[in-house]
């Protein structure tokens, strides 16, 4: 299947590892021109050959400064993939009914919601000119609020609502907005020694490998396996593709059946 992405310019946030890195690789394999951004690059990202622009999207000015640099290099932009996100496990927050203090909530919302809102705002004039696409990477935890800390689940639920509302506003003007909501995915965030999974295991006093091994079954994933990030990348590119002109305002779950309601 030709995704019609050859020569199209794609901006991927949170691109240094995990799902973002796989989106970069997949987009390049489709012939796209890829700009990748993260706070810092990695050897794996550098090996792709994608153009890298450093940015901290959790800051108020980070998205605007990023798009100024990206569009100064080339004013054309076809696709924005808002993948930047993540979280941390504060041992002290586990006993807190709302899972963290004001700073924890502010930091989590800034990275998982406001980064996408601000980056989309800054990119929208170029995307409107190109009649392009926005794909936001959400999470199944937006519909399974017991599955992750409340600040993260609330942010991802808000991201889904933002995506649907924005699709209504800009769809008639030629920009398609959609969301991909992965289930537990085998990324450094979960399986890495310094990621959220390791922090959570430490906070709970359990073995990290054992926590990861049981995660798919505990989350009700029917495959019994965490999702491969390359599968998420393929879904992102399908929604970004001009070959899917009627996919607008959708939230595609790639969660191995972890969400049990329609």
- In this predicted model, what pLDDT tens digit does every residue of 172-185 receive, in sequence order? 999 999 999 999 88
User: What pLDDT, on the 0 to 100 scale, is given for residue 212?
Assistant: 72
- CA-CA distance, 262 to 260, in Å (whole number)? 7
pLDDT band at 147 (very low <50, low <70, confident <90, very high): low
Cβ contact 152:87 at 8 Å: yes
pLDDT, tens digit (0-9, with 9 covering 90-100), for 106-145: 999 999 999 999 999 999 999 999 999 999 999 998 888 6
Q: Average pLDDT over the chain, rounded to whole?
A: 91
**By the 8 A CB rule, do 78 and 10 touch?**
yes
Q: What is the pLDDT of residue 243?
A: 97
CA proximity to 83, closest of 102, 55, 106: 55
Query: What count of other Cβ atoms lies within 10 Å of the Cβ of residue 102?
Result: 7
Mean pLDDT of 223-248: 96
Torsion, CA 48, CA 53, CA 57, CA 62, rounded to 10: -170
Identify the residue with better confidence: 105 or 98.
105
Burial of 201 (0-12, 13-18, 19+ CB in 10 A): middle
Which pLDDT value is given to residue 37? 98
Banded pLDDT at 10 (limits 50, 70, 90): very high
* DSSP secondary structure letter of residue 56: -
Amino acid 145: pLDDT: 67
pLDDT one-digit tens code per residue, 31-59:
999 999 999 999 999 999 999 999 999 99
Question: From CA 191, how far away is CA 177, in angstroms rounded?
Answer: 30
148 is catalytic: no
pLDDT surpasses 60 at 89: no
Q: Looking at 105, 152, 162, 252, which residue is catalytic? A: 152
Three-state SS at 130: helix
Tokens found for residue 100? 């963290």
**Rg for the chain (alpha carbons), in Å?**
18
Domains of the chain: 9-254 (3.40.50.720)
């Amino acid at each position: 299947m030709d995704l019609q992405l050859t020569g199209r310019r794609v901006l991927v946030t949170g691109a240094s590892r995990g799902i973002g890195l796989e989106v970069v690789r997949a987009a390049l394999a489709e012939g796209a021109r890829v700009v990748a951004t993260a706070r810092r690059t990695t050897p794996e990202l550098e090996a792709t050959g994608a153009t890298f622009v450093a940015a901290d999207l959790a800051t108020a000015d980070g998205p605007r400064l990023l798009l100024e640099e990206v569009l100064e290099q080339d004013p054309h932009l076809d696709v924005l993939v808002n993948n930047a996100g993540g979280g941390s496990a504060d041992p002290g927050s586990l006993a807190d009914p709302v899972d963290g203090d004001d700073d924890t909530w502010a930091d989590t919302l800034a990275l998982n919601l406001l980064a996408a809102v601000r980056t989309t705002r800054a990119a929208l004039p170029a995307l409107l000119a190109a009649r392009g696409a926005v794909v936001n990477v959400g999470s199944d935890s937006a519909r399974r609020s017991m599955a992750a800390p409340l600040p993260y689940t609330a942010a991802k639920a808000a991201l889904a609502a933002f995506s649907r509302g924005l699709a209504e506003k800009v769809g008639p003007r030629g920009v398609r907005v959609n969301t991909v909501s992965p289930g537990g995915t085998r990324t450094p965030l979960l399986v890495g020694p310094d990621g959220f999974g390791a922090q959570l295991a430490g906070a709970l006093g359990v073995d990290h490998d054992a926590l990861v091994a049981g995660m798919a079954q505990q989350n009700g994933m029917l495959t019994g396996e965490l999702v491969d990030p390359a599968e998420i990348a393929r879904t992102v590119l399908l929604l970004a593709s001009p070959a899917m002109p009627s996919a607008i305002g959708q939230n595609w779950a790639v969660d191995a059946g972890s969400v049990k309601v329609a």
